[in-house]
């Protein structure tokens, strides 16, 4: 098991409301992070204006797009398997075109066209607006590729048509790229330098979502706490901004408060926070506004100072504990979750024990845990030997997961007998008689449907729980409605 909770439905084809008059069929599926799922909505929106309606059936498609992930080797292997499947379908439908989007497109570039004969189109994360031109080339019988990374592309001007969603929760991207250069991570290479989206366009999207009935948004970025709008351009060029631009710049704490005040009934979440960039201002802003959810996803990767340094994570274990203490003091009921990598190069048993003791200290609500996967081109790949044997990595990962499960159970049990506010998102997967939703702390709860509806905020009395899910009964609508 790699993940305790799988947030995104990996590989589910996206489905848009059909646009009248569109005759071509698009099959688009996504792998990897929430940003990819958000990007696929942008892509489908662009293609809707080019005559494409989405289809769930691969066999019917005129165009098949796969939005790919490079974060670990396994993620890339999943995509290679999907390409084999497309290849089989193409034999019965030779007119079908296949395009690769996202991080693998950016990483492998034209190599994709050589390695995988099935691929007609390769488009990196900053080039989706060029899709209409690229498709025209493909129609003319040529392979097409655009993997240019951009200084300012944020897709702020594209209002994505929401797909596949429950009509209640939505993703809103606020930054693109990452400047952190963690030594294990391929993202800075595939998604380019960090840039932030105009707050005005973010607010317009949030208002539009509220007007369409959405009740919760997640502000998305590789490193949201680093958000900085000073009129456009790369984060690293902020030093060159004018005095006026500096004086009127909007940072993440400010953006959060603007969002919270613009739609005071909208629940606001964000992901992901890098500990080195999370400010006290952000924590205080969370405490100030009821509608900002008390949950922080705060990846730590390792509990060992030596490994943190080798990973180029720019904080120590002690500084991380200080941050956790500050969060708990300012927001006592804040849920905290983690990402951890087991078996980074040179990791010793001592280092691993430091990770376990860090887990003991924080007792996270939940987490996403992985074995280290060497990624071509990263600093770790160039400078360090991948020297922890796979069996050791796996054993350490199992120990980390087992401890995390204990803590998840402990945290979940802590809600027994309490009343939590739940936003109803969908019918429970296990029982059509039950609703499923999440608390502000991002804990899933299931309870009998009664007369409540999707999109209602309800108070749920927690009577029972599993390791990760609250079970209870609704005792009325909450005041948030």
| Residues engaged in binding ligand SAH (CB under 6 A) | 33, 71-72, 184-185, 187, 222-223, 272, 299, 301, 339, 341, 370, 372-373, 375
Comparing CB distances to ligand F3S, the nearer of 16 and 103 is: 103
Q: Is 127 in the site for ligand F3S (CB under 6 A)?
A: no
Alpha-carbon distances, residue 90 vs 120, 255, 291 (angstroms): 12, 46, 48
Comparing CB distances to ligand F3S, the nearer of 160 and 188 is: 188
Comparing CB distances to ligand F3S, the nearer of 146 and 301 is: 301
Q: From residue 256 to residue 275, what is the string marking binding to ligand F3S with x (rule CB under 6 A)?
A: ------------------x-
Comparing CB distances to ligand SAH, the nearer of 269 and 375 is: 375
Q: Is 89 in the site for ligand F3S (CB under 6 A)?
A: no
State the nearest-atom distance from the C-beta of 412 to ligand F3S, in Å.
27
Q: How many residues bind ligand F3S (CB under 6 A)?
A: 10
Residue 262: closest CA among 199, 351, 176 = 199
Give the Cα separation of 358 and 352 in Å (integer).
10
Contact 40, 74 (CB under 8 A): no
State the nearest-atom distance from the C-beta of 443 to ligand SAH, in Å.
20
Residue 101: closest CA among 160, 39, 57, 56 = 39
Q: Which does 71 bind (CB under 5 to 8 A by kind): ligand F3S, ligand SAH, none?
A: ligand SAH
Comparing CB distances to ligand SAH, the nearer of 34 and 161 is: 34
State the nearest-atom distance from the C-beta of 314 to ligand F3S, in Å.
10
Q: Is 222 in the site for ligand F3S (CB under 6 A)?
A: yes
State the nearest-atom distance from the C-beta of 86 to ligand SAH, in Å.
26
Alpha-carbon distances, residue 154 vs 196, 340, 466 (angstroms): 7, 29, 40
Q: Strand 434-439 to strand 419-427: parallel, antiparallel, or no bridges (unpaired)?
A: antiparallel
Query: Rule CB under 6 A: which of 159-198 touch ligand F3S?
Result: 178, 180-182, 185, 187-188
State the nearest-atom distance from the C-beta of 37 to ligand F3S, in Å.
16
Give the Cα separation of 351 and 354 in Å (integer).
5
Three-state secondary-structure class, residue 27: strand
Q: Which does 358 bind (CB under 5 to 8 A by kind): ligand SAH, ligand F3S, none?
A: none
**Cβ within 8 Å of residue 54, ≥6 positions away:** 13, 14, 15, 16, 18, 25, 26, 27, 28, 44, 163
Alpha-carbon distances, residue 290 vs 41, 99, 264, 287 (angstroms): 29, 43, 8, 7
State the nearest-atom distance from the C-beta of 272 to ligand SAH, in Å.
3
Cβ atoms < 10 Å from Cβ of 264: 11
Comparing CB distances to ligand SAH, the nearer of 215 and 407 is: 407
Residue 93: closest CA among 117, 110, 118 = 118
Q: N- to C-terminal Cα distance for the chain?
A: 38
Q: Is 369 in the site for ligand F3S (CB under 6 A)?
A: no
Residue 156: closest CA among 195, 201, 199, 126 = 201
Q: Which does 341 bind (CB under 5 to 8 A by kind): ligand F3S, ligand SAH, none?
A: ligand SAH
Q: Which does 188 bind (CB under 5 to 8 A by kind): ligand SAH, ligand F3S, none?
A: ligand F3S
Give the Cα separation of 176 and 125 in Å (integer).
9
Q: Which does 33 bind (CB under 5 to 8 A by kind): ligand SAH, ligand F3S, none?
A: ligand SAH
Q: Strand 24-30 to strand 52-54: parallel, antiparallel, or no bridges (unpaired)?
A: parallel
State the nearest-atom distance from the C-beta of 415 to ligand SAH, in Å.
26
State the nearest-atom distance from the C-beta of 299 to ligand SAH, in Å.
4
Q: Which does 373 bind (CB under 5 to 8 A by kind): ligand F3S, ligand SAH, none?
A: ligand SAH
Contact 37, 30 (CB under 8 A): yes
Q: Is 102 in the site for ligand F3S (CB under 6 A)?
A: no
Contact 30, 64 (CB under 8 A): no
Q: What is the DSSP letter of 292?
A: B
Contact 94, 126 (CB under 8 A): no
Comparing CB distances to ligand SAH, the nearer of 32 and 199 is: 32
Q: Which does 370 bind (CB under 5 to 8 A by kind): ligand F3S, ligand SAH, none?
A: ligand SAH
Comparing CB distances to ligand F3S, the nearer of 103 and 440 is: 103
State the nearest-atom distance from the C-beta of 178 to ligand F3S, in Å.
3
Q: Which residue has the tokens 């390791």?
A: 467
Q: Is 480 in the site for ligand F3S (CB under 6 A)?
A: no
Query: Which residues on adjacent β-strands are paired with residue 196?
Result: 175
Comparing CB distances to ligand SAH, the nearer of 63 and 310 is: 310
In terms of Cβ atoms closer than 10 Å to its own Cβ (0-12, 13-18, 19+), residue 326 is middle
Q: Which residues bind ligand F3S (CB under 6 A)?
A: 178, 180-182, 185, 187-188, 222-223, 274
């Amino acid at each position: 098991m790699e993940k305790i909770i799988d947030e995104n439905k990996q590989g589910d084809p996206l489905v848009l409301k059909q646009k009248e008059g569109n005759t071509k069929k698009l099959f688009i599926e996504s792998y990897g992070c929430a940003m990819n799922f958000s990007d696929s909505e942008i892509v489908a929106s662009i293609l809707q204006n080019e005559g494409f309606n989405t289809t769930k059936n691969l066999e019917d498609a005129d165009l098949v797009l796969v939005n790919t992930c490079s974060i670990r080797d396994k993620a890339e292997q999943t995509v290679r398997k999907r390409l084999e499947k497309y290849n089989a379908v193409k034999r019965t439908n030779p007119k079908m075109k296949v395009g690769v989007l996202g991080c693998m497109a950016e990483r492998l570039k034209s190599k994709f066209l050589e390695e995988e004969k099935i691929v007609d189109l390769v488009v990196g994360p900053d080039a989706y607006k060029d899709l209409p031109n690229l498709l025209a080339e493909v129609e003319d019988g040529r392979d097409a590729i655009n993997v240019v990374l951009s200084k300012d592309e944020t897709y702020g001007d594209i209002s994505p048509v929401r797909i596949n969603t429950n009509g209640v929760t939505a993703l809103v991207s606020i930054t693109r790229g990452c400047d952190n250069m963690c030594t294990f991570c391929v993202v800075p290479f595939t998604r380019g330098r960090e840039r932030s989206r105009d707050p005005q366009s973010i607010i317009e999207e949030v208002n539009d979502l509220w007007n369409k009935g959405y009740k919760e948004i997640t502000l998305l970025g590789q490193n949201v706490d680093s958000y900085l709008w000073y009129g456009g351009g790369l984060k690293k060029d902020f030093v060159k901004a004018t005095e006026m631009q500096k004086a009127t710049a909007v940072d993440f704490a400010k953006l959060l408060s603007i969002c919270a005040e613009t739609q005071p009934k909208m629940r606001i979440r964000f992901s992901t926070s890098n500990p080195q960039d999370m400010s006290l201002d952000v924590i205080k802003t969370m405490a100030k506004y009821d509608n900002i959810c008390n949950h922080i996803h705060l990846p730590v990767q390792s509990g060992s100072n030596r490994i943190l340094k080798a990973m180029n994570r720019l904080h120590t274990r002690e500084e991380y504990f200080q941050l956790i203490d500050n969060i708990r003091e300012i927001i006592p009921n804040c849920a905290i979750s983690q990402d951890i990598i087991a078996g980074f190069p040179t990791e010793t048993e001592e280092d691993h024990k430091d990770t376990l003791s860090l887990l003991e200290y924080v007792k996270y609500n939940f987490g996403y845990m992985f074995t280290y996967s060497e990624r071509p081109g990263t600093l770790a790949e160039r400078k360090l030997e991948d020297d922890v044997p796979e069996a050791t990595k796996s054993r350490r990962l199992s120990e980390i997961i087992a401890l995390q499960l204990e803590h998840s159970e402990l945290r979940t049990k802590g809600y027994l007998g309490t009343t939590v506010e739940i936003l109803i998102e969908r019918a429970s997967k296990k029982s059509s008689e039950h609703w499923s939703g999440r608390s502000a702390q991002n804990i899933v709860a299931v309870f009998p449907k009664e007369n409540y509806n999707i999109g209602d905020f309800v108070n749920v009395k927690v009577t029972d729980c599993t390791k990760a899910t609250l079970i209870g009964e609704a005792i009325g609508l909450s005041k948030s409605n």
